[in-house]
Chain A
């Protein structure tokens, strides 16, 4: 079992795969319990309407129906409202968000009543006949209109829709925005998008009435956060509530939340004494699961005449939706620290205003704030390049901040842990044949071809690894940002890791096994990894914000050092030498100068377990627990290059090449890291070209199914060409940085910059997201003077 083979840095095939490729996955809809009831939610068809009356009597008469309740009927079930844990300012205006609304429906899909029945079909049928009388109200569907006097109010008691205003407060010299030779004022918009995991949400609650004990299996990223917050909503004591995240079919922020349906399943299990299951269908997923983006930026960018970037001053207007979900008001602020990109600027300003609207709540969607920021910075840099008549590559070269290996204060107030922007940038341009495409572009422009070529650059820095607990505290977040790991060396030689992160496709079982294998001298196949169940892995803060490896991996590293320390003491005892006389290598302690005297970790695990002969005061069993609270975020960076061909007659944009050179520090499993980048890029390309949540003027969701909300298929996307540079992070002992969101952060401006670049010689300066053929065609027509 012991091995000298090393695994960190190699593409170990995933341990997770076998069940998933054979149809033996354990997704929540695959779980059944005896006597399970099925739940359906009655949802408002209107964006904004007063609830006059809810009559569930017809539903109760339907066969197989066990219960039906309005929001008012269930008002007594709740110990508190649904959680919002990030009141980012002292004067934020908040309103209680109940699992079912009692007074008004505030968006299309808002839950007004609930039904449980013996089958899913019967529950759906009964939900159809719940009679709700509404009085329609004018909806708020535009954030700029919503903040004007006289706008309808989403939450009457708040007296305004502009419920939160947060300012970074500025950094550096604000004078550059008045004195710089180049001062441009720009406006960028990012429409709403929806995370679209292929598995919608779902939950199954069970109850042991005599014990008052509940278990909730839920398709979530955050079993630990869900446990404490759902305890607060339902009144089920935390020690009587177990949350299990089984196999989770993708999340992307959709499942970084605590939802009404989870609370309802628990409350109705308590009411009925039976298990209650709810499986979201795709239409519900698009209507009620959180959306993201939905922002307008007004930007001032300052630069020299040569195009060196001097600063960004950004004011953002953000669509919060109808209610604050778990993190809603904090999402824009996550971008609020990177509105300088990787550039050495002199002035920094960021502020945002959050506006309630009669549309689905917004919250985290992969990247959360940082894609918005990176889009603004990188679109603005290209605009400056065009303004000063320089190649956009050239002005990036002269604007990059210098490299550093240790943490260094940045103008925006936080410390960037390590950076070396230029090598990644030059490698990306080299891989993409940048100069060659510039020549081809010039040739096609000269000959006036219908299909023009554009090259888009996107150099980014992101703040990942959420987060140092003291900074979260300063930002008024309600929890910490630490992570936990337990290591147990079993007497049979196997190793059990119990971790606090909760993966949903990221391959933690494999990656964490590789780390433990190298430290303990075992094979990854001899390591099991437990997670996602609050009874099995009670300590942890879950998976989001590209935090798992840089915080959870660090916690594991510390736990493994504790194991080795404990094992060393026992080895010294058994070999009758001083601890300092032992050297540790390949999972074994050897006496220096007498290498035949050896104890391996598995041997010591047996000794610690039998406990027959331990040193005085030694605790039996080779087990250690560690928590890790990071001192800093990690700051991944890189450059992406997109080459697009645009048909100037139809507006159709074809991506010819997509090159990404990312730096996420030390890499544990290159195959898994590449996979994260691939998926992130695809998500970012989708945001740039295809995806947009659309409501009509009455607040009806038009993009309510996969036939209108265009998640791209393989046929729409190119292959991706990846490389890496490696600048270790000094923030954690592994030297790692997060990589889960880099692609989503970098890709949208790379794609839009490419498309604008392709038609900029026609006078086009801006094309909104998503850059559909219609939008591109209109931009070309408008630039040509409207005479299409």
Chain B
């Protein structure tokens, strides 16, 4: 799942995860993402989440997801401009598994996903 209020950023992320054989479902904010998840029978493996979004921000989304047993298996990666140490700590404490600071290069994103075991062996940027 790619959750960001910027369509441009969603496009960048979609392209990257497509290289890793992921099909991306898009949402423009945390609430939209939760609504979509409620309708899905198969929970996505991975969510790339922006922080600052209207309606429900990324931190709230992460908190809500981690509270729901059905969504336990989702790997949650923040992708955001929020780059203060304290913000990263907050996100990790709320249950995010990894954190990517914008701007990020494609190689960096793929490496972060590799850290989480989400890159099929042989895939290379």
- A and B assemble together: no
| Interface, chain A (partner B; CB < 8 A) | none
| Interface, chain B (partner A; CB < 8 A) | none
